[in-house]
Structure 1
Amino acid sequence: MSEGSTRSIYAAMIANVAIGVAKFIGAAISGSSAMLSEGIHSVVDSINEVLLLYGLKQSQKEPDENHPLGHSQEIYFWSLMVAVLIFALGGGISIYEGFKSFNNPKESTNAMVSYGVLCIAALFEGTALLISLREFNKERSDKGISLWQALERSKNPANFVVIFEDSAALLGIAVAFSGVFVSDLTGKIFYDGLASILIGVILTIVAIVLVGKTRGLLVGESAAPQVRESIRNIVLEDKAVLKVESPITFQLGPNDILLALNIEFQDDLSSDQIESAICRIEDTIRASHGEVKRIFIEARSITCEHKS
């Protein structure tokens, strides 16, 4: 795993721990439900960063007899757990606290404390988001597409999970600030509780998006289209190749791709020449795509018929 991915997680974790403490202090002083929801949000995000770091460490374990393809998918599993935590703890508790404030309204005080804490939180979260985006843009090769498209295509949860978390955090801070401000302006605690519910809804939406994304990676996605096309072109450029089927790829981890190729070689080649061609093709693919860790090549006629 790249150093940039780890740097993004640590930056987000440091920000969330510092902000979380400040938010809980602010919530205790002001009595704001929205501030309390934001404190819970920061705690959940901090736990999530720990889980991502653990997933990264586990995914780097070497293959063994029981896991011959390695442990790269560990990061996908723990990313799914992160999404579940955001949904259950972040979204669920924030919505609960909002409705609770409707049934047991408590007048908010010291709104200036909430404003100050939220402004500081926005500064920390914004810095963490900028670091995450900078590291993500450094690593992605598809510079010609939008950021959203790049996030959709990303196979690295250490990048896209943190970016989604930090973005949701900034949006949550804006909602909390609005709730505290309108409550302070009107004297109605209803808006503070409503802000807490909206924060929960934001977290729930983010969790659903992340569950869908990590589910696809766990089930088994192919490599990015440009990677598959590049591999196919590399094979076809070899003078020994007559035809090749579409490459079969399996994204085992952010930087771990399994590749299977079905190649038809020129008819006049000897077995030694085919063997040399296979070695040459494998070396060229690995030189161009270091993330391809395992290559399986079947040398046969694509048009041959199998008889049962």
Structure 2
Amino acid sequence: MSAGGSLKSIFYALAANAGIAIAKFIAAFMTGSGTMFAEGIHSASDCGNQLLLLWGMKKAKQPPSPDYPLGYGKEIYFWSFLVAIIIFSIGGMYSLYEGIHKLQHPPESFQDAWVAVIVLIFGIILEGGSLLGCLKQIKHLRGETPLLQWCRETRKSELIVILGEDLAAELGMMIALVFILLAQFTGNPMYDAIGSLLIIIAIFIAIKVKGLLVGQSVNPKIRAELVAALNSKESVKEILNVITLQLGEDVMIAVKARMDDANAVEVCKDINQIEAEIKTAFPQVKWIFFEPDIKK
């Protein structure tokens, strides 16, 4: 899937979160709900996060330059990591603070709880639509690969961020809905406070994107296919080493191989042909550094 699939997922999430944030803040003002206000902060920060991802994807498309000979593809990883920090701090830590504050100082009453319930149901429907849209785009990428395995192995940081945001928002609103209903039926507003405690998904996103920032290889399945394609070439007698590096949408490959030809001119022709065939079979491969060698 091209970057267009990621763009669709980001725009779905941006539209959903903008509507949800407005509705949540209105409900928080009407009800005095700490959970609802924390959820509004979360949805508003999600809108900012999606704008940052869009900016990161735009920056990542810049062509290579003398200072950045391999291009700017990893820009998207930086902005994805920044989004993870925002989710952790604004979405997670603020919710944690709000929850602890309400547990220590529970409000005397919880007004107009049904307004909050209606807004949360509305938000669950909108966020559910965004989540389904994201999962649909991911399905094109993962094929038959289980979703959890895809999440561990994928190099699409922007989709991981959107998936994490959508899951966190959907789960958070469902928990908030349950606790608001409990607060309404039991008369104990402390239930409203407990619904603010969510933070784990931001940590997962940060850990995942950190690996891509440091310099992660391509997906193991794609690497295996690349090695198999190289081994299938008649002029390649033996693959001595293959190094891959994921650079946003682009991939760099460094190959050391024992070649069949003894003539230097023929070796160069073989290498040029191999590089052209690899780039045709794997469009994401932008750079190939092929070093012929002899087995020692």
Is the structural similarity TM-score above 0.5? Answer: yes
Which residue identity is paired with 2:291? E
- Aligned partner of 1:292 in structure 2 is 285
Match for 1:136 among 129, 135, 138?
A: 138
Cα distance in 1, alignment partners of residues 55 and 117 from structure 2: 35
- Aligned partner of 1:256 in structure 2 is 250
Secondary structure, aligned partner of 2:294? coil
Mapping of 1:98-117 within 5 angstroms?
98-106=99-107, 107-117=109-119
Which residue identity is paired with 1:172? G
Any conservation in 1 of the 2:123–2:173 contact (CA below 8 Å)?
A: yes
Cα distance in 1, alignment partners of residues 55 and 133 from structure 2: 21
Secondary structure, aligned partner of 1:243? strand
Secondary structure, aligned partner of 1:170? helix
Any conservation in 2 of the 1:234–1:281 contact (CA below 8 Å)?
A: no
- Aligned partner of 2:182 in structure 1 is 182
Q: CA deviation at 1:44?
A: 1.3
Any conservation in 2 of the 1:232–1:246 contact (CA below 8 Å)?
A: no
Q: CA deviation at 1:281?
A: 0.8
Alignment of 1:265 with 2:267, yes or no, is no
Any conservation in 1 of the 2:164–2:202 contact (CA below 8 Å)?
A: no
Q: CA deviation at 1:58?
A: 0.5
Q: CA deviation at 1:220?
A: 0.5
- Aligned partner of 1:237 in structure 2 is 232
Alignment of 1:206 with 2:201, yes or no, is yes
Q: CA deviation at 1:149?
A: 0.8
- Aligned partner of 1:306 in structure 2 is none
Which residue identity is paired with 1:296? F
Secondary structure, aligned partner of 1:245? strand
- Aligned partner of 1:39 in structure 2 is 40
- Please, which runs of 5 or more residues in structure 1 have no aligned partner? 304-308
Which residue identity is paired with 2:272? C
Mapping of 1:1-308 within 5 angstroms?
2-106=3-107, 107-138=109-140, 140=141, 142-196=142-196, 198=197, 202=198, 204-253=199-248, 255-266=249-260, 268-303=261-296
CA-to-aligned-CA distance 1:213-266 (integer Å, 9 cap, x gap): 00000001111122222222222222111111241101111x211100001012
Q: CA deviation at 1:287?
A: 1.0
Which residue identity is paired with 1:297? F
Cα distance in 2, alignment partners of residues 160 and 209 from structure 1: 10
Cα distance in 2, alignment partners of residues 18 and 87 from structure 1: 22
Any conservation in 2 of the 1:262–1:302 contact (CA below 8 Å)?
A: no
CA-to-aligned-CA distance 1:138-181 (integer Å, 9 cap, x gap): 2x1x4232011112111112211101110111100111001101
Q: CA deviation at 1:32?
A: 1.0
Cα distance in 1, alignment partners of residues 180 and 229 from structure 2: 59
- Please, which runs of 5 or more residues in structure 2 have no aligned partner? none
Worse-matched range after superposition: 22-31 or 226-235? 226-235
Cα distance in 2, alignment partners of residues 64 and 155 from structure 1: 23
Any conservation in 1 of the 2:241–2:257 contact (CA below 8 Å)?
A: no
Which residue identity is paired with 1:134? K
CA RMSD of aligned residues (A): 1.2
Secondary structure, aligned partner of 1:247? strand
Cα distance in 1, alignment partners of residues 59 and 169 from structure 2: 27
Cα distance in 1, alignment partners of residues 241 and 218 from structure 2: 12
Any conservation in 2 of the 1:129–1:166 contact (CA below 8 Å)?
A: yes
Cα distance in 2, alignment partners of residues 244 and 89 from structure 1: 49
Which residue identity is paired with 2:146? S
Which residue identity is paired with 2:171? L
Report percent identity of matched pairs. 35
Any conservation in 2 of the 1:231–1:247 contact (CA below 8 Å)?
A: no
Any conservation in 1 of the 2:153–2:220 contact (CA below 8 Å)?
A: no
Secondary structure, aligned partner of 2:255? strand
CA-to-aligned-CA distance 1:109-155 (integer Å, 9 cap, x gap): 111101100000001000000111111112x1x42320111121111
Cα distance in 1, alignment partners of residues 133 and 245 from structure 2: 30
Which residue identity is paired with 1:275? C
Worse-matched range after superposition: 226-235 or 287-296? 226-235
